Amino acid sequence: MTRILILDYGVGNLFSLSSAIEREGATPLISAEIPSDLSFDGLILPGVGNFSPVAARLRGLREPIERVVESGRPLLGVCLGMQILFHRSEEGEGEGLGLIAGDVVKLPAFVKTPHMGWNNLERVRLHPLLDEVADDGWVYFVHSYYPQPEDEQVVLARTHYGISFPVMVARENVYGMQFHPEKSGQTGRTVLRNFLRLCAR
């Protein structure tokens, strides 16, 4: 059975994410540490909160996270966990993991923040993470910031909320989604199932 480590670094929707993984037939493991033997098939960085304290908490886990990526195991960042994959954020000080080149910026002042609710996914390119996902599938957001990757080729999907911005990214075995798959109905369930398939390979 596929084993998924959900990293507990003091933020996040651990229980609902764990339940969603279990529903898909995988085994969720919640831990504040990354085992040195990497006895899991995929890693998820959840996230609800502020960039700066998360960046500080992950400082000591940077090396183990990099080892996971180097091992070829899939890594998925969800919401704030996606933003921490980048270098910096306008939300506060601190360095992200820098696994995907780019920064995180605030949504424009003319839209209400946080952006909270349902929006359509606009697929940008084909990818296993988007298998069987409708081009206009609805997903659920709670955020005030979004990523600006340096390389547009990492963008899998976008949405429109005042402006168009990336909401799914992939670079080799590192993936991110700005929305919450565990709260996004059938579309979220499909995306999460696709991630678990990548982990099972």
Residues involved in catalysis: 79, 180, 182
- Dist. CA 2–CA 196, nearest whole Å: 7
For residue 110, give every residue at least 6 positions away whose Cβ sits within 8 Å of its Cβ, in sequence order, or none: 162
- Dist. CA 72–CA 144, nearest whole Å: 31
Gyration radius of the chain's alpha carbons: 15
- Dist. CA 70–CA 63, nearest whole Å: 10
Coil vs helix vs strand at 176: strand
Which of 21, 85, 88, 13 is closest to 46 using CA atoms?
Answer: 13
∠ CA(43), CA(46), CA(49), 5° rounding?
Answer: 155
- Dist. CA 73–CA 68, nearest whole Å: 6
- Dist. CA 186–CA 160, nearest whole Å: 20
